Structure 1
Amino acid sequence: MAIVKILEQCQVSAPQGSVPSSTLPLTFWDMPWLQVWCPVQRLFFFDFPHPTNHFLHTLLPILKHSLSLSLQHFFPFASNLVLPPDPLHLHPYLLYRDGDSLPFTVAESSADFSGLVSDSPTDLADLHHLVPMLPSPSTLEDGTRLIPLMTIQVTVLTNSGLAICIAFAHVAGDGRAFHHFMKFWAAVCRARGNLGSLPAGSPPLPCHSRDIIEDPKGLKLVYLKELPKIELKSMEFAPFVSDVSSDKVRATFVLKRDQVDQIKRWVSIRCIGDGTGTTHISTFVLTCSLMWVCMIKSEESHDQRLDEPCKLIFLADCRNHPDFTIPSAYFGSCLTIPIVVLERGRLVGENGFVEAVNAIESRVRERKSDPLTGAEKIMSDLRNLSKSEQPALTIAGSPRLGAYETDFGWGKPRKSEVVHIEFFGCISLPDSRQSEVAIEIGVALRRTRMSSFADNLEKQLRNIN
């Protein structure tokens, strides 16, 4: 285990008086995330071949100052979720008060940087000391909970690298909102805290107006009626603590561009042959299909029924969708949550990959046509999935979010990890670090199952070749 030393713990806030006290109502896009309370944990690794003192004296002051200036515009991450005891009558909302801040931790670790940024299977426990925990909520006299939404830890791996890890609650904002914040913070840092001289191409200011959110199906009322069913009063809002005794490992798999082109040709030929006509397949659909089939085939128990329904969940961003008037800079959650269902026997069969492609592509086309199809049931669907013995495979992140475009002034990330995939059987799909790689896939599994998963993936790719 790495030796970890906490060097500093402080609070960072927007400049005093720069942001008026504000309340932001939750929209119907935000409400489903009240019952998915695993914090998002995004980790960025950067090359930094310098001693800790160099970081503390040269980079840390500007990193904290630029964060403060960024929170002036991204203040919801420093705010609290207000959760009344009777959320059906007094709705939950985000509350920012002048001076609100988020925890900021600086640490030093003896961990092996080269191992942490490796694609090879590595113990998940090796990442845990880099991940900050969200503070516990406070409770007012009337039972109202005030729940912090973000915390940050910067860890120096002496003479080799830096790790910046952010844990935040999804109800505060989705992946696009988060990466908008990260790139803005990085741009301010590159400008050494001078907001008037941000680099060309820096992200725009966020849009916080909730008035632009239309609710044509009255979904907010539908979701509010669902809140009592998820027992918000007894929900565990304490920070997730990883099971360090687990034998889970994480690994990164890559698909090169020529591989993806070959897979697309292979799938197109078979789709034309079976009459489905699904010939223009995105890299996202192909990757999700490939991962789903290999994940099901790698299951350690082999006594499941072939007629058992298997589920895959992906997230679809609705900013700039023609059915809505939501700009790309909108800050908040703006995701639909499609669920794909396919019987196990079809996934593990000889034509399983093409079956998966057709099923996922069908849901993608459906969401492009009507993003809110089935949205009335999403909270009950998620609640039922949480009780199911057969967990769904969830796709976290997206190559379109541009995690590797986050540059604080010491180069782009050497690697970016989605740590929370270890909790819910997720896989992550960040963008690629290398031009010849089309997509990266982050996977966290028990060590024996990881070996089986890798074998199945290699076999599937070999069959396509």
Structure 2
Amino acid sequence: MAPAPLDRHVTVVERCEVSPSPARAAGQPCALRLTFFDLAFWDFPPVQRLFFYDHHSTDSLLDVPGFLRQELPLFKQSLAAALHRFYPLAGRLAPELPADAPEVVCSDGDSVRLTIAVAAGSDDFQDLAGDHPRDTARLRPLLPTLPKHAVFAVQVTVFPRAGICIGTTLHHAVADGSSYVHFVKTWAAIHRGKKVVDLAPPLFDRGVVRDDGGLREAFVRDHRALAAAGDGRMHDWDLSRRPPGAVVLATFRFTDELLGRLGKRVEPETSARRCSPYALACGAAWAGIVHARGGNGSGAAHRFGFVTVAGSPKMGIYAAADLGAPWGRPRKVEIVSVERTGALALAENLDGGGGIEVGVALPRGEMDAFRAFFCDLVATAAFRDRD
């Protein structure tokens, strides 16, 4: 029997606003101008990640009153201190793209919405933090929604006797993956007790991005033209149109050993002297998606010529998100928003021994075919290596 949708078992116990503390320093810019790099993602769905943390304390089991009394104040304080460095994350965006100067506006009193929720039991935690296919509808209640005009929101869900899940929702036009990981690293370091002065600050000088070709203005015009024409590209990403169980999310681990075997297999057939682990993992996943969608040759592949990627193993998200005792590093990080975009979610393997983990969101039938393709890939690579 399939597990029940998680939203039946998650209860919100608190919603609060966390402001940068101390407030934005005098002399810091009160607006962050968006570059053409940012504008490329203006109308993209927000990037949503989940961090699952085991509770490692040997003194007591994780209980809700204890977390709210002892742990939650530190989460709030460390988040506020991190937002002091990354104060544009507490800023606001205009609801529509302005014609002249798209920017994140920052002012006194800015804040980030923090939601605290409690899950009914611990069994869901073990299941949701796994690699196997999970119904994405069960993960959505762990993610915060963005308040109107906000660019960033956080949710902490407590799973009694098991662990916690931190969910974040971020407007992609405000920060890319590298900037996001920089923020997470800063937040986690402060949570561990590291002094803010010892941490690398972000750079807000937009003048370092040269735009001699006028790409920023061209992107603004293109976005406005699409909006005026009734652009419906976002409709495919509207999750309300999907029935429960329509899409599942799974993680596939490409170990260093497997990547090495795949490299030996494909390099003699290419002009490249050596394929990078990144290219091998993405190529194998792309081939698996083509297979899952009925492609049986190069003629069918054109229906699927591009695959986008979210995250990177070089960002080191697991190390960046180390909260210290009693949580440590997350046991699993998921980019759940690939359900909307169809991107591959890449990260380094948790064990630190090399390799790449790839998150894939597909309809259940296609996921079964993708898993079969992956298992066959692993078996074939091992067999040929013995030869």
Q: TM-score, normalised by structure 2?
A: 0.86
Taking a change above 3 Å as real, the CA distance of residues 244 and 99 of structure 1, as seen in their structure-2 partners, is farther
**Distance between the aligned counterparts of 2:376 and 2:285, measured in 1?**
12
Alignment counterpart, residue 115 of structure 1, candidates 127, 136, 142: 127
- Counterpart contact for 2:239–2:340, Cα < 8 Å: no
Alignment counterpart, residue 274 of structure 2, candidates 264, 280, 284: 280
**Distance between the aligned counterparts of 2:53 and 2:231, measured in 1?**
36
User: Secondary structure of the residue that 1:285 maps to in structure 2?
Assistant: helix
Give deviations 1:105-155, integer Å, cap 9, x for gaps.
Answer: 00000252111111111222221110111113xxxxxxxxxx210110000
Aligned to 2:183: 181
- Counterpart contact for 1:41–1:418, Cα < 8 Å: yes
Taking a change above 3 Å as real, the CA distance of residues 101 and 232 of structure 1, as seen in their structure-2 partners, is farther
User: Secondary structure of the residue that 1:284 maps to in structure 2?
Assistant: helix
Alignment counterpart, residue 220 of structure 2, candidates 224, 233, 239: 224
Taking a change above 3 Å as real, the CA distance of residues 241 and 105 of structure 1, as seen in their structure-2 partners, is farther
Give deviations 1:294-330, integer Å, cap 9, x for gaps.
Answer: 1001115x6999266245xxxxxxxxxxxxxxxxxxx
In the alignment, does 2:14 pair up with 1:14? no
Alignment counterpart, residue 208 of structure 1, candidates 196, 204, 212: 204
**In the comparison of the two structures, how many residue pairs are matched?**
361
In the alignment, does 2:347 pair up with 1:400? no
In the alignment, does 2:11 pair up with 1:5? yes
Give deviations 1:53-108, integer Å, cap 9, x for gaps.
Answer: 221111110110111111111011110112567x33x2211100011111100000
In the alignment, does 2:30 pair up with 1:35? no
**Distance between the aligned counterparts of 2:95 and 2:160, measured in 1?**
41
1:54-73 residue pairs with structure 2 within 5 A? 54-73=66-85
Aligned to 1:190: 192
**Distance between the aligned counterparts of 1:235 and 1:164, measured in 2?**
33
In the alignment, does 2:355 pair up with 1:438? yes
- Counterpart contact for 2:23–2:84, Cα < 8 Å: no
- Counterpart contact for 2:22–2:84, Cα < 8 Å: no
**Distance between the aligned counterparts of 1:159 and 1:65, measured in 2?**
24
1:118-157 residue pairs with structure 2 within 5 A? 118-136=130-148, 147-157=149-159
In the alignment, does 2:249 pair up with 1:250? yes
Q: TM-score, normalised by structure 1?
A: 0.72
1:386-397 residue pairs with structure 2 within 5 A? 392-397=306-311
**Distance between the aligned counterparts of 2:23 and 2:170, measured in 1?**
24
Aligned to 2:58: none
Aligned to 1:447: 364
Taking a change above 3 Å as real, the CA distance of residues 244 and 408 of structure 1, as seen in their structure-2 partners, is farther
Q: Aligned partner of 2:13: which letter?
A: L
User: Secondary structure of the residue that 1:171 maps to in structure 2?
Assistant: coil
Give unmatched runs, 5+ long, in structure 1: 137-146, 312-340, 342-391
Alignment counterpart, residue 343 of structure 2, candidates 416, 426, 437: 426
User: Secondary structure of the residue that 1:455 maps to in structure 2?
Assistant: helix
- Counterpart contact for 1:250–1:442, Cα < 8 Å: yes
**Distance between the aligned counterparts of 2:95 and 2:16, measured in 1?**
26
User: Secondary structure of the residue that 1:148 maps to in structure 2?
Assistant: coil
Aligned to 2:299: 306
Q: Aligned partner of 1:306: which letter?
A: G
Q: Aligned partner of 2:379: which letter?
A: R
Give deviations 1:220-249, integer Å, cap 9, x for gaps.
Answer: 222222122221797899996554623321
Alignment counterpart, residue 46 of structure 1, candidates 46, 53, 60: 53
Q: Aligned partner of 1:96: which letter?
A: C
Give unmatched runs, 5+ long, in structure 2: 56-60
**Distance between the aligned counterparts of 2:50 and 2:119, measured in 1?**
15
Taking a change above 3 Å as real, the CA distance of residues 437 and 121 of structure 1, as seen in their structure-2 partners, is farther
- Counterpart contact for 1:255–1:437, Cα < 8 Å: no
Identical positions, percent: 30
**Distance between the aligned counterparts of 1:225 and 1:116, measured in 2?**
42
Give deviations 1:370-397, integer Å, cap 9, x for gaps.
Answer: xxxxxxxxxxxxxxxxxxxxxx432111
- Counterpart contact for 1:81–1:149, Cα < 8 Å: yes
**Distance between the aligned counterparts of 2:354 and 2:125, measured in 1?**
22
Deviation at 1:12, TM superposition (A): 0.5
Deviation at 1:205, TM superposition (A): 0.7
- Counterpart contact for 2:135–2:244, Cα < 8 Å: no
1:347-426 residue pairs with structure 2 within 5 A? 392-405=306-319, 406-409=321-324, 410-426=327-343
- Higher helix share goes to which structure? 2
1:286-325 residue pairs with structure 2 within 5 A? 286-299=280-293, 306=299, 309-310=302-303
Deviation at 1:175, TM superposition (A): 0.5
**Distance between the aligned counterparts of 1:240 and 1:62, measured in 2?**
35
